[in-house]
């Protein structure tokens, strides 16, 4: 992608569902920011997720988009949580150059119990488990996976731990999701989902400036920053932490306007936005090839009313097959 600088005065230059790369030269910071609207709403409304589940999945989608669009090669970036809470699985993947899909699995009874008890914070819904980041460059290379613990902190903080452990780059992530209730052009009530996020990374020319504080040492750890932590990163991180969740999701703010609010005193530069789309990678051919690997007994057991129906968990598309077309050639003969 050719990075053509966009004028910061064009506050609505990108709009929804476009990732905006940015650079703050005065602080040696690079990053990406995004606001997701119709694309995210289509993913969430397709499954009619309860609000606490939709909010969690929205944050995972934002995180996936922010990190996936940084890939410099053809491949797939996946973010997945597995925990022992009411929402036991969240998964979103980004396939280069622009396709996104996502899915959540939850226990209805456990979720209802958690909501009734007011236990709807992300860490309460996810429980203990792991958050995995997977990069897959295709069949000619081994996938890379980084895993961090779901330890009762926010997805923002867990993502920060991932960068500290795997890439050793000082990184701050902000994520937010919101429900909007308004009226359409005909005056009818309308419900929509929006989300937004920002990732900022400290990338100075001198590697020694990237020194970071150690991870929290537990009881007795004051959390004071060491003398070696760079002042430019302390300033950048502090500015990012001033972002209000509403600013990340407000359609009247816009991504460029938010970046200008944060960094204008230091000279922020934005680049050409990258659009992302709600597009699943499933197909009749792919699913058919999987079914053709089934044994005759498995094909028989999968039938209902003389056919095999497979519904994609991501996009809810149902593919129907005649069992005869799944038999090996020698059996058909």
What domains are defined for the chain?
16-206+230-276 (3.55.30.10), 282-323 (no CATH)
**The model's pTM:** 0.86
Q: Is 273 helix (H, G, I), strand (E, B) or coil?
A: coil
Average pLDDT on 35-51 reads 95
Average pLDDT on 8-35 reads 85
pLDDT band at 29 (very low <50, low <70, confident <90, very high): very high
**Residue 173, both tokens:** 């992530």
Lowest mean pLDDT among 48-57, 153-162, 169-178, 200-209: 200-209
Model pLDDT, residue 274: 93
Q: Is 222 helix (H, G, I), strand (E, B) or coil?
A: coil
pLDDT band at 2 (very low <50, low <70, confident <90, very high): very low
Residue 271, classified by CB atoms within 10 Å of its CB into exposed (0-12), middle (13-18) or buried (19+), is middle
Across all residues in the chain, what is the average pLDDT? 87
pLDDT band at 94 (very low <50, low <70, confident <90, very high): very high
Model pLDDT, residue 12: 53
Q: How far apart are CA 27 and CA 266, in angstroms?
A: 7
**Residue 298 φ/ψ, nearest 5 degrees:** -65, -40
Q: How far apart are CA 200 and CA 219, in angstroms?
A: 29
pLDDT, tens digit, for every residue of 212-243?
A: 555 554 555 454 544 567 899 999 999 999 99
8 A C-beta contact, residue 61 and residue 40: yes
Q: How far apart are CA 53 and CA 276, in angstroms?
A: 22
Helices (H), the chain: 38-47, 51-68, 108-116, 122-126, 155-162, 231-241, 245-249, 255-263, 284-291, 296-302, 329-332
Q: DSSP string spanning 303-325? A: -BTTBEEEE-TTT--EEEE-GGG
């Amino acid at each position: 992608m050719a990075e053509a600088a966009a004028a910061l005065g064009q506050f609505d230059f990108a709009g929804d569902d476009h990732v905006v790369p940015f650079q703050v030269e005065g602080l040696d910071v690079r990053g990406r920011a995004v606001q997701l609207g119709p694309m995210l709403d289509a993913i969430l409304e397709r499954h009619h997720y309860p609000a606490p589940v939709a909010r969690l999945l929205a944050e995972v989608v934002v995180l996936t988009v922010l990190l996936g669009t940084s890939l410099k090669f053809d491949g797939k970036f996946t973010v997945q949580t597995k925990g022992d809470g009411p929402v036991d699985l969240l998964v979103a993947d980004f396939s280069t150059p622009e396709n996104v899909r996502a899915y959540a699995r939850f226990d209805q009874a456990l979720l209802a119990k958690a909501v009734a008890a007011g236990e709807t914070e992300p860490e309460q819904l996810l429980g203990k488990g792991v958050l995995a980041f997977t990069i897959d460059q295709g069949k000619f290379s081994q996938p890379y996976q980084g895993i961090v613990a779901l330890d009762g902190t926010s997805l923002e903080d867990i993502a920060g731990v991932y960068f500290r452990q795997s890439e050793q780059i000082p990184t701050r992530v902000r994520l937010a999701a919101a429900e909007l209730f308004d009226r359409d052009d005909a005056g009818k009530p309308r419900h929509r989902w929006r989300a937004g996020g920002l990732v900022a990374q400290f990338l100075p020319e001198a590697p020694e400036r990237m020194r970071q504080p150690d991870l929290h040492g537990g009881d007795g750890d004051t959390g004071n920053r060491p003398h070696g932590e760079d002042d430019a990163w302390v300033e950048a991180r502090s500015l990012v932490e001033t972002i209000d969740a509403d600013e990340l999701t407000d359609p009247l703010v816009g991504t460029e306007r938010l970046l200008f609010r944060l960094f204008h005193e230091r000279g922020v530069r934005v680049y050409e936005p990258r659009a992302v789309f709600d597009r699943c990678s499933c197909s009749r051919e792919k699913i058919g090839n999987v079914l053709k690997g089934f044994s005759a007994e498995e094909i028989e057991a999968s039938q209902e009313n003389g056919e095999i129906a497979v519904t994609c968990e991501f996009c809810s598309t149902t593919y129907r097959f005649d069992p005869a077309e799944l038999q090996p050639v020698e059996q058909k003969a």
